[in-house]
Amino acid sequence: MLGIETSCDETGLALVRGRELLADVTASSMDSHARFGGIVPEIASRAHLEAIEPTLDAALGQAGVGLSDVDAIAVTAGPGLVGSLTVGSAAAKALALGLGVPLYGVNHVVGHAAVDELVHGPFPERFLALVVSGGHSSLLMVRDIARDVVELGQTLDDAAGEAFDKVGRILGLPYPGGPHVDRLAREGDPDAIAFPRGLSRGKDLARHPYDFSFSGLKTAVARYVEAREDSGAGVPVADVAASFSEAVADVLVTKTIAACRAHEVDTLVIGGGFSANSRLRELAAERCAAAGVDVRIPPIRYCTDNGAMIAALGSAVVRSGVAPSPLDLATDSQMPLEQVVMGAVA
């Protein structure tokens, strides 16, 4: 299975055989976006166009196989940037047509969970997946990763990674701020500042048991920093980073474990770029152990965008016997999380 990922700024090409990873190569255009403080879609699309063939060649070389050894192709059909998605899907269609192999247009966010099978082996019959990234913070109930994914909750405003990037900007750190805030947080006191835990109490919690909200928290950080600057007291940057990180990890883990209990699930998979976050990893490990939940988090290189996640999901889809996508498959920048494979247009 050849997996092709081009939903954002990473061009990821990977090859798997079943659950065995043969090659995984990623080219990123992040350096070209950093000076703009965000992803510039037009730059990302052009970078995919330039990177896709050399990245494919590198992946084939790494696996020691030729194009004729490819039996099927999986490509990210959405969600993502429309121009970026188009480059990957055009390449996938051309290859599928040329090689005469089936094509599967799959969901990027579900892929962030699927990749864990390459690392920790087959999934149990049912499990929860927390997918936290730059664009998503979603809690999924999974009975079959290829066809039965139900969204229990999601963020009502900012995604976890997005909130970290915004706090990074507030603290004057380079873009993307997530990893920088994480690094700083390790030197600070997580209890120094009592930042709010969104949707965690009373009516808010009752109405949104498994939803998240991080924009109030981000505003609280901005207010705190402004007040300290105005009073000339100086900003305790590491303490702000640590207390903010604690608030995000605390809400994510508390709600996720509550969902595991309510749904009597004993396995949790965490994926997406934000699952690289060190405090989330620590707190999830600690509280899942206490709750008797087996937590599976792939190594960091499989958390950020890559081709392996798409190849892994493609493999799972084939195992489940789901029909391939049509060769004129459409991309969908807003592809719903419960749609794992892009079907024929009605």
Residue 45 contacts Fe ion per CB under 5 A: no
Q: Which residues pair with 15 in a beta bridge?
A: 2, 23
Pairing of strands 73-78, 2-5: parallel
Out of Fe ion, ligand ATP, Mg ion, none, what residue 88 binds, judged by CB under 5 to 8 A for its kind, is none
CB–CB of 58/196 below 8 Å? no
Query: Using the rule CB under 6 A, which residue among 33, 48, 108, 169 binds ligand ATP?
Result: 108
Q: Is 275 annotated as a binding residue?
A: no
On the question of a cis peptide bond just before residue 209, with omega within 30 degrees of 0, the verdict is no
Residues in Cβ contact with 170 at an 8 Å cutoff, skipping those fewer than 6 apart: 218, 221, 222, 225
The reply on whether position 24 binds ligand ATP by CB under 6 A is no
Nearest CA-CA partner of 212 in 249, 244, 261: 249
Give residue 3's Cα distance to chain centre: 16
Is residue 277 a known part of a binding site?
Answer: yes
Q: Is 133 in the site for Fe ion (CB under 5 A)?
A: yes
On whether the CB atoms of residues 87 and 44 are closer than 8 A, the answer is no
**Residue 12 annotated as binding site:** no
295 in helix, strand or coil?
strand
Question: Of 55 and 277, which CB lies nearer to ligand ATP in the complex structure?
Answer: 277
Binding site for Mg ion (CB under 5 A): 8, 305
Q: Per rule CB under 6 A, is residue 273 in the interface with ligand ATP?
A: yes
Residue 135 in marked binding region: yes
**210 touching ligand ATP, by CB under 6 A:** no
Nearest to 160 by CA among 34, 40, 256, 27: 256
Residues 168-207: x/- map of binding to ligand ATP (CB under 6 A)? Answer: --------x-xx--x-------------------------
Of the pair 76, 267, the CB lying nearest ligand ATP is at 76
The option from ligand ATP, Fe ion, Mg ion, none interacting with 165 (CB < 5 to 8 A, set by class) reads ligand ATP
Q: Where along the sequence are the contacts to ligand ATP (CB under 6 A)?
A: 7-8, 80, 108-109, 133-136, 161-162, 164-165, 176, 178-179, 182, 272-274, 276-277, 304-305
